[in-house]
Amino acid sequence: MSTTFAAGPVRVRVPATSANLGPGFDALGLALALHDDVVAEVTSGGVAVEVSGEGAGELPADDRHLVVRAMRETFDVLGGQPRGLAVECLNRIPQARGLGSSSAAIVAGVLLARALVSDGPDRLDDAGVLRLAAGIEGHPDNVAPCLLGGFTLAWTEPTGARAVSVPVAEGIMPTVFVPADRGLTATARAALPATVPHGDAAFNAGRAALLVHALTVDPSLLLPATVDRLHQVYRAAGMPGTNALVDALRVAGVAAVVSGAGPTVLALTDLPEGFDAGTNWQVRQLPVDVSGAQVAGGRLGHAERDPVAAGRKS
C-alpha cells in the first residue's frame, strides 16, 4: 500500500476530559470546554516540535513527544511514514492533573496523521480512530469524550474500544479544582488492588447505572450517583488534599469526585454560596464540550501562540 501525503498544514482542536466521574472507572467520561490546538505538516526531513502554554520547555521536541508518537503509530497503520514532520502545539489543558491531557495529545496525533494522508479517512474510519487512540492510551474513558464530545460511555470488545456519546441534562455546569501538584495516571493505577470485594463491585455497578440517569435526565440524583468504591479510596493516600476537598464538597451537598486519576477535583453540581476551597486550587467553571475533537486546515495565529493571550481567549 503506497501512501501519499497532503500538502499544507492540518490543525486539530481537542478538549480536556474528566474520566470515571466517580463510579464509572475506565468507562464514563465528560468532555470539557478547555482545549489544546495542534498543527502538523509533512516536511522534507527531521522532526520539529514547538510547544507553547502547558508543558512548554518541559516536553520533548522530538519523536518522544506524545503527539508525534501517536502520529507515528497512525502512519504505520496507514501504510507509511512521511520524510519529515513539523508539529506546533498550543496547550491549555493542565498536564498530569486528571484532565485527560495525554488522551488529548494522542487523539490530536491520530487525527492529524489521518488528515495528512491523502486517503486517510478511507483507510481509517472514526471507529478505527477510537480503537487506535484507546489502544495507545490503554483505556478508553478519556479518549472517547475527547473524540466524540459530551458525556460518553465507553467499553472494550475483543476487537477494541467502542463508545457512545449521550446528551447531558440541561444546567450541568462542571467546576474543576486544579492543584499545582501533578500526579501521573500510571502511579495512580499502580495503587489499585488486583481484586476488589464483590459487594464493592456490585455497589459501583448500581451507582454507575444511576449516574447515567442522573447526568442525562435527573441531576437531583447526582450526589448518590457519584459515590465510588473501586478507585478513589485506594488512591486517597497519594493525594490527601484531593480527598479532603472531595469530602468537604460532598458534606456541603456537592456531587464532587476525583477527576480521572487525580489530583484535580470535579464538581458536577453548583457550589454553595461562599464555599471556600482554600488557596491550593485553581477553580474554573468549564461547560461541557459537546463537539469533541475538530479538524481543520491552517496554522496557529500569533495571538494564539502567546499563552497569555491564548488564556484570555479560551
Ligand X SMILES: N[C@@H](CCO)C(=O)O
Ligand Y SMILES: Nc1ncnc2c1ncn2[C@@H]1O[C@H](COP(=O)(O)OP(=O)(O)OP(=O)(O)O)[C@@H](O)[C@H]1O
- Site for ligand Y, rule CB under 6 A: 19, 36, 55, 59, 65-67, 89, 91, 95-103, 105, 142, 184-185, 260-261
- Residue 232: name its binding partner from ligand X, ligand Y, none (Cβ under 5 to 8 Å by kind): none
Residue 291 annotated in ligand binding: no
Return the residue of 5, 12, 20, 254 that touches ligand X, per CB under 6 A.
20
139 binds ligand X (CB under 6 A): yes
Can you tell me whether residue 62 is helix, strand or coil? coil
Burial of 297 (0-12, 13-18, 19+ CB in 10 A): exposed
Beta bridge partners of 90: 37, 52
Q: List binders of ligand X among 209-238 (CB under 6 A).
A: 231
CB of 99 to ligand Y, least distance (A): 5
Angle between helices 66-78 and 126-137 in degrees, nearest 10: 130
- Could you tell me the end-to-end alpha-carbon distance of the chain, in angstroms, rounded to an integer? 41
Residues between 234 and 263 with contacts to ligand X, criterion CB under 6 A? 260-261
Among 10, 12, 16, 19, binds ligand X (CB under 6 A): 19
Is the bond leading into 263 cis (omega within 30 degrees of zero)? Answer: yes
Element (H, E) at 224: helix 222-225
Element counts in the chain: helices (H) and strands (E):
12, 11
Segment contacting ligand X by CB under 6 A, of 73-81, 181-189, 199-207, 290-298:
181-189
Q: Are 136 and 127 in contact (CB under 8 A)?
A: no
Nearest to 107 by CA among 143, 135, 78, 148: 143
Contacts with ligand X in 51-110 (CB under 6 A)?
A: none
Q: Segment 187-206, which members bind ligand X (CB under 6 A)?
A: 188-189
Q: Is residue 136 near ligand X by the rule CB under 6 A?
A: no
Answer yes or no: is 101 a known binding residue: yes
Name 48's bridge partners: 86
* Cβ partners under 8 Å of residue 35, min gap 6: 13, 14, 15, 16, 92, 93, 289, 314
Q: Among residues 304, 298, 252, 221, which one has the least CA distance to residue 22?
A: 221
Does 100 show up as a binding residue in the annotation? Answer: yes
Select from 32, 44, 35, 39 the least CA-distant residue to 11.
39
Is 96 labelled as part of a ligand binding site? yes
Q: How far is the CB of 218 from ligand Y (least distance, A)?
A: 27
CB of 312 to ligand Y, least distance (A): 20
Min CB(160)–ligand X separation in Å: 17
Stretch that binds ligand X, among 42-50, 124-132, 139-147, 163-171 (CB under 6 A): 139-147
Tell me the three cell numbers of residue 92.
491549555
**Residue 172: contacted member of ligand Y, ligand X, none (CB under 5 to 8 Å, by partner type):** none
CB of 142 to ligand Y, least distance (A): 5
**141 binding partner (options ligand Y, ligand X, none; Cβ < 5 to 8 Å by kind):** ligand X
Binding residues for ligand X, rule: CB under 6 A, are 19-20, 25-26, 139, 141-142, 185, 188-189, 231, 260-261
The annotation places the binding site for ATP at 94-104
